[in-house]
């Protein structure tokens, strides 16, 4: 190797290091609160008062997806939004309200009032530093009641403003979905193939044996003529076994998957098509809110 060749390699290495350092300094990646120093937070608050709090869960997601599926989905999508907007993401909880999944080992669950209190105390402390606009990115249906409560509490008892930007958001359009492909099935497996493919065990994916109660079957039959009855059917599903409605996870599904579709048909592309509109909608909202209160 010639001296000139060696100098060229060294120069290229230095250039790459500088580019990498520059990118890290200009904030081209997501901003995660736990990865920032207090100085970074102080600097951030000089120009912005927004923060995204992802809401997920630690609960069974069939034999092929990790317990932290909802947590990772909420976090990864929040990070994508952060990359586009420069808004800080502050993960607070690994768990959500998931008691109806506890028939399968590993599921963790918080009472709604416990979860709400933890989130509210987090908001209070973040307000102390100067954060004033709070956005919750939820990706677990069981958390909807908590999200509604915390947003109402923040907006009605503090000077801050809170809004939902994930599931439960007023501007996130509901997408067409197959009936009863609600949990760890084709759709959610596709999302994980897009966001966290290394965590998906497609060799374990299998269509579940779904066991609806006679009451559920009759309500679904009648709902074909009177769609309003689907709202009654919804109240029988994803509920603790103690309610005796037969709607807990282990009562409905043989393996924890809530789907009449085959999760083996999931693809990364379907996941991308699911995630992208949610990210775009959140980014549009954030940019509009920024301009509205400059």
Q: Which residues pair with 98 in a beta bridge?
A: none
pLDDT of 10: 43
Read off the pLDDT of residues 186-204 as tens digits, 9 standing for 90 and up: 999 999 999 999 999 999 9
Tokens of 226: 């009177």
DSSP secondary structure, 238-255, as one string: S--GGG-SS-SHHHHBSS
CATH of the domain at 164: 3.40.50.10310
Read off the pLDDT of residues 278-292 as tens digits, 9 standing for 90 and up: 999 999 999 999 999
Task: Tell whether 19 is covered by a domain.
Answer: no
Given a cut of 70, whether residue 24 has pLDDT beyond it is no
Which pTM does this prediction carry?
A: 0.89
Per-residue pLDDT band at 9 (split at 50, 70, 90): very low
Per-residue pLDDT band at 181 (split at 50, 70, 90): very high
Helices 186-195 and 268-292 pack at an angle, to 10 degrees, of 70
In this predicted model, which residue has the larger pLDDT, 28 or 81?
A: 81
Its domain, for residue 91, covers 29-173+275-292
Task: Tell whether 284 is covered by a domain.
Answer: yes
Read off the pLDDT of residues 73-112 as tens digits, 9 standing for 90 and up: 999 999 999 999 999 999 999 999 999 999 999 999 999 9
Read off the pLDDT of residues 62-72 as tens digits, 9 standing for 90 and up: 999 999 999 99
In this predicted model, which residue has the larger pLDDT, 10 or 276?
A: 276
pLDDT of 20: 40
Smallest CA-to-CA distance from 275 within 139, 91, 77, 82 is with 77
Number of domains observed in the structure of the chain: 1
Q: Distance between CA 266 and CA 205 in Å, rounded?
A: 10
Separate counts of helices (H) and strands (E) for the chain: 10, 7
Cβ-Cβ contacts under 8 Å for 16 (sequence gap 6 or more): none
pLDDT of 173: 81
Given a cut of 90, whether residue 6 has pLDDT beyond it is no
pLDDT of 211: 96
The pLDDT mean for the chain works out to 91
pLDDT of 16: 42
At which residue do the structure tokens 């102080």 appear?
A: 42
Task: Tell whether 182 is covered by a domain.
Answer: no
pLDDT of 2: 52
Task: Tell whether 166 is covered by a domain.
Answer: yes
Smallest CA-to-CA distance from 159 within 111, 126, 199 is with 126
Given a cut of 50, whether residue 15 has pLDDT beyond it is no
Task: Tell whether 264 is covered by a domain.
Answer: no
pLDDT of 277: 96
Read off the pLDDT of residues 130-180 as tens digits, 9 standing for 90 and up: 999 999 999 999 999 999 999 999 999 999 999 999 999 999 987 666 778
Task: Tell whether 222 is covered by a domain.
Answer: no
pLDDT of 23: 39
pLDDT of 161: 98
Task: Tell whether 110 is covered by a domain.
Answer: yes
Given a cut of 80, whether residue 28 has pLDDT beyond it is no
Given a cut of 60, whether residue 52 has pLDDT beyond it is yes
Question: Span 56-61, mean pLDDT?
Answer: 98
Read off the pLDDT of residues 211-233 as tens digits, 9 standing for 90 and up: 999 999 999 999 999 999 999 99
Q: Which residues pair with 54 in a beta bridge?
A: 137
């Amino acid at each position: 190797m010639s001296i000139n060749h060696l100098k060229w390699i060294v120069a290229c290495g230095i250039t790459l290091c500088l580019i990498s350092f520059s990118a890290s300094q200009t904030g081209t990646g997501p901003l995660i609160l736990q990865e920032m120093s207090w100085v970074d937070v102080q600097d951030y608050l000089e120009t912005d008062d927004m923060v995204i709090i992802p809401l997920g869960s630690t609960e069974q997601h069939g034999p092929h997806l990790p317990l932290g599926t909802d947590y990772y989905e909420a976090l990864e999508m929040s990070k994508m939004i952060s990359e586009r907007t420069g808004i800080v993401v502050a993960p607070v909880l690994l768990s959500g309200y998931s008691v109806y999944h506890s028939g399968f080992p590993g599921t963790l669950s918080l009472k709604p009032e416990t979860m709400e209190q933890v989130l509210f105390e987090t908001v209070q402390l973040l307000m102390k530093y100067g954060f004033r606009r709070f956005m919750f990115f939820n990706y677990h249906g069981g958390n909807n009641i908590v999200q509604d409560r915390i947003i109402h509490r923040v907006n009605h008892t503090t000077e801050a403003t809170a809004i939902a930007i994930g599931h439960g958001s007023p501007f996130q359009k509901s997408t067409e979905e197959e009936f009863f492909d609600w949990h760890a099935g084709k759709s959610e497996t596709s999302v994980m193939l897009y966001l966290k493919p290394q965590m998906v065990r497609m060799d374990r994916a299998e269509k579940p044996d779904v066991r609806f109660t006679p009451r559920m079957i009759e309500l679904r039959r009648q709902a074909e003529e009177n769609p309003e009855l689907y709202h009654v059917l919804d109240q029988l599903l994803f509920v603790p076994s103690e309610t005796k409605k037969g709607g807990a996870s282990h009562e409905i599904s043989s393996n924890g998957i809530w789907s009449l579709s085959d999760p083996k048909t999931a693809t990364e592309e379907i996941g991308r098509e699911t995630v992208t509109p949610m990210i775009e909608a959140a980014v549009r909202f954030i940019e509009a809110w920024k301009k509205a209160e400059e």
